[in-house]
Structure 1
């Protein structure tokens, strides 16, 4: 009963501030119901949507292959194909974002340059990505009801992601910043949008997608982090929380209305959640195996999270706290693991904070 009362209170308090609509808006919607109930489908629209999807998938394949090359260098032990893919996507998307940042700072934000570099990365990524995709095996839920529910809600989120962007923050800075940078041909200070001084890893991916195709392709990149986050939740549920069916945890994730709502918007919240959870998952693996590559991976993923929002600072604090707790009785032995985690996090996160220092 107390939980239900708390739920009513929290939802009511939320909608007092975040009103879903106002009476004038409702009046306009009802007046135009004849228009939005009419459904038409044109060949041109289908073609445009297909190009948007293919562009997003293209960048996802490049990210997967790039991440797999990085994982090969790390030589992580005991990885299932699913875990390997999740970490590879995280590292690959992060690398693409940082590379786009470097190109922007150098003043190379030309469509021809970005296409050329993406094509070269594709040639390097495909030999790694394609064989790995063939190793994927079905991890789907056994229950038809669960499969049906997850398919339906994911399809609804995808349909929202395929629409032109209308969400507030996307139009204010997530997509507007990249658009202005592309128009200028470089990332430069002086643009009168204070949010562009935030860490902008995902905005760099948006910018790459917008240069190759457009803003809907950019939205799809954020949508892609919804299944990636679900995969992490599944793995954590099975491996570390010993659930008989990891899809139970995924159901809880997708039952939260904002998860799939955000998946249809060009925001960065799902990417932030993915990188934070991935960093924690890698650190949990380090606790079990005590091998340095897991610490480096956890730190790198933590650094990528810090490239998304300032509020991500809680992630390195949490990870450092876990390491400190592990060595609470032999603190001298914990110095090297702590420094490894710290250095990996700092090196990956540093570009955004150095950029802001120089620009301001």
Structure 2
């Protein structure tokens, strides 16, 4: 990777986005001031460019030449259409002193941000999916049907821009494209302030956002949160222009951007009801019907959302995967795994709401980053309610911050921060020296070496990047060896694992600097099944420890149904083995047997496979009336049924027998007794992976079974292939 490639990627992405946006503004006959054309043109155009990249990838045309050709064609068309020329009308300027201060602080931090973004990518989520998946799409030239990673089914609007830049910027594409949004954002806030008649408010708000430590860290890595904030603010900005202009073109632009907010991040879909509510309120105040504006915004938003809704419907069977699995059952995720994932996001590292204010402003050790100490003053922004502009800003803050309780890491607040920054600056606009002092204090307290003095030790923040790495004067390998803990093992995977073979990991593992699919335990129902099998070999509460036996005089039946008869509980109900006997001999499963269940039918065979490390679960919270059933396909004499369960899955059950087309419930419940732990669990676990065509596994030093695998490879049936100080790569024999 060369510096020229990085800069070319940024330049092409920016030019293609800006020219696309400028041409769309021409078509919609939207008249803007010069600074607005640059900001809104770039943001609006990037949304359209992302959608074009999605369409090409969906068509199997994700090739470097195609994307470079698309960019060149857009630039040439834009020049022909005059998109490189900007309006001669300008907004009121900043006072000279403020202009100098704004440019100085902006330049200082922008240079630091550029240096950080040019360094090889090290952001954890960028390595896991934000940049890793676009890299995979370029290798495969299309979207794969990924039912083994919930993260692959989130909307990827910003990631499509990463994909567009990837042929030139490679692994740094995410950071360099995200940097574009970071650099554009303060100019957007400044432009809004100038239009509103408060240039200093726009400048101060823009710098308060731009300089915030979390923004600097996010905006220079392959994450998406600053870009999402850009789209959210552009929706607000266009609505503010529409409030006085009220043209159809503005409504179309608002609808397109509001819909793309969903494409950028599910939680940003709040832009759609916000936009409809905003227009409806002001039309109602003028005694005009709001329906036309609401329908137009809704249709334009739906047009932008539909690519991801259709993709997830076709590939997964759930338009809003990985959520709403209770309503759209699918192979990717069960409702209980979705609930576990959502719970982890809501209770991030068990931080309480009382701890959140300190964590997001000066701590950051648990919620991954800080806004900076000056945002302790953010509640004072409520006093801006006395100003019309303040009320509009705070309404937007509520709209884009409403989803924060669903995921409380600091970065999920970023889309709401621009509105808080502007509202706080608006409150202080009459005290110019106080406002300037606030910005200067924020700048000092946000400088990386100063941040390190007061934040928590493990706060996610910017650190000094040596220029030689940013300029690629030293190889990426030397940098990544120390910066990415999984990098060396990733290289070992490339050396030892045949191309195309997946690798199982109990916990996450980087997928950017190696080309294999990593199946992670918590990322899908499939991964959870493999994880449960591996952990069952060592965790007592996952093993079958209890038998529920139904014994009766021999009966000839067509089918059996095991019914959950307990009260509702948060955990799923499950069965490790459903065993059927006649004359003390267990019936072997026959091809004619038809297995089914009231819930999670895809996994029902795991209750009939005679494997103690696999099980069927209901896949959602247990409730009375759930059942698992076998139809023998013909009359079958039986006299005993044995159900084996773990402590985690057990619950009261009743047995129903089908005979002569009628179901009857045995009047007597089961006899219950403990059973000894089965032998050979380690080998049984790895054979589950083998049967699912997973022949490799990687263990990290913190994984629960890592030590046991290292001590007992023969019992597990694995061979150590490669290791470093943190990870071990095994081949399943």
Q: Does the alignment pair 1:59 with 2:13?
A: yes
Q: Indicate conservation of the 8 Å contact 1:53/1:217, yes or no.
A: no
Equivalent-residue separation in structure 2 for 1:177 and 1:235 (angstroms) = 35
Cα distance change of structure 1 residues 138 and 62 upon mapping to structure 2, 3 Å threshold: farther
Equivalent-residue separation in structure 2 for 1:185 and 1:240 (angstroms) = 46
Q: Which runs of 4+ in 1 moved over 4 A?
A: 133-141, 329-332
Unaligned runs of 5+ in 2: 317-733
Deviates more, 1:146-155 or 1:120-129: 120-129
| Paired residue total | 313
Residue 267 of structure 1, CA deviation:
0.8
Name the SS of the counterpart of 1:107 in structure 2.
Answer: coil
- Which residue of the other structure, out of 112, 117, 123, is the alignment partner of 2:70? 117
Q: For residue 268 of structure 1, what is the aligned residue in structure 2? A: 224
Residue 135 of structure 1, CA deviation:
9.2
Cα distance change of structure 1 residues 330 and 64 upon mapping to structure 2, 3 Å threshold: closer
Q: CA-to-partner distance for each residue in 1:69-90, whole Å, 9 max, x for gaps?
A: 111100013x111101212111
Q: For residue 183 of structure 1, what is the aligned residue in structure 2? A: 139
Higher percent of residues as strand = 2
Higher percent of residues as helix = 1
Q: For residue 35 of structure 2, what is the aligned residue in structure 1? A: 82
Q: Indicate conservation of the 8 Å contact 2:51/2:157, yes or no.
A: yes
- Which residue of the other structure, out of 304, 313, 326, is the alignment partner of 2:269? 313
Name the SS of the counterpart of 2:289 in structure 1.
Answer: helix
- Which residue of the other structure, out of 57, 60, 72, is the alignment partner of 1:104? 57
Cα distance change of structure 1 residues 148 and 231 upon mapping to structure 2, 3 Å threshold: closer
TM-score where L is the length of structure 1:
0.80
Q: Indicate conservation of the 8 Å contact 2:93/2:199, yes or no.
A: no
Q: Indicate conservation of the 8 Å contact 2:131/2:171, yes or no.
A: yes
Cα distance change of structure 1 residues 257 and 131 upon mapping to structure 2, 3 Å threshold: same
Q: For residue 255 of structure 2, what is the aligned residue in structure 1? A: 299
Cα distance change of structure 1 residues 329 and 233 upon mapping to structure 2, 3 Å threshold: closer
- Which residue of the other structure, out of 187, 207, 220, is the alignment partner of 2:163? 207
Cα distance change of structure 1 residues 51 and 133 upon mapping to structure 2, 3 Å threshold: farther
Q: For residue 73 of structure 1, what is the aligned residue in structure 2? A: 27
TM-score where L is the length of structure 2:
0.41
Residue 142 of structure 1, CA deviation:
3.2
Cα distance change of structure 1 residues 116 and 289 upon mapping to structure 2, 3 Å threshold: closer
Q: CA-to-partner distance for each residue in 1:111-137, whole Å, 9 max, x for gaps?
A: 233233332223212333433399999
Q: How does 1:275-354 map to 2 (within 5 A)?
A: 275-328=231-284, 333-354=289-310
Equivalent-residue separation in structure 1 for 2:190 and 2:232 (angstroms) = 15
Q: Indicate conservation of the 8 Å contact 1:56/1:218, yes or no.
A: no
Q: Indicate conservation of the 8 Å contact 1:61/1:129, yes or no.
A: no
- Which residue of the other structure, out of 157, 161, 164, is the alignment partner of 2:117? 161
Deviates more, 1:87-96 or 1:154-163: 87-96
Give the number of the structure whose alpha-carbon radius of gyration is greater.
2
Q: CA-to-partner distance for each residue in 1:53-73, whole Å, 9 max, x for gaps?
A: 122112211211111111110
Q: For residue 171 of structure 1, what is the aligned residue in structure 2? A: 127
Equivalent-residue separation in structure 1 for 2:69 and 2:302 (angstroms) = 30
Cα distance change of structure 1 residues 147 and 228 upon mapping to structure 2, 3 Å threshold: closer
- Quote the RMSD (CA, aligned, Å): 2.4
Q: For residue 22 of structure 1, what is the aligned residue in structure 2? A: none
Equivalent-residue separation in structure 2 for 1:246 and 1:133 (angstroms) = 21
Name the SS of the counterpart of 1:246 in structure 2.
Answer: helix
Q: How does 1:2-81 map to 2 (within 5 A)?
A: 48-77=2-31, 79-81=32-34
Residue 266 of structure 1, CA deviation:
0.7
Q: CA-to-partner distance for each residue in 1:218-239, whole Å, 9 max, x for gaps?
A: 3211100012221221122222
Q: Indicate conservation of the 8 Å contact 1:275/1:301, yes or no.
A: yes
Equivalent-residue separation in structure 2 for 1:51 and 1:171 (angstroms) = 20
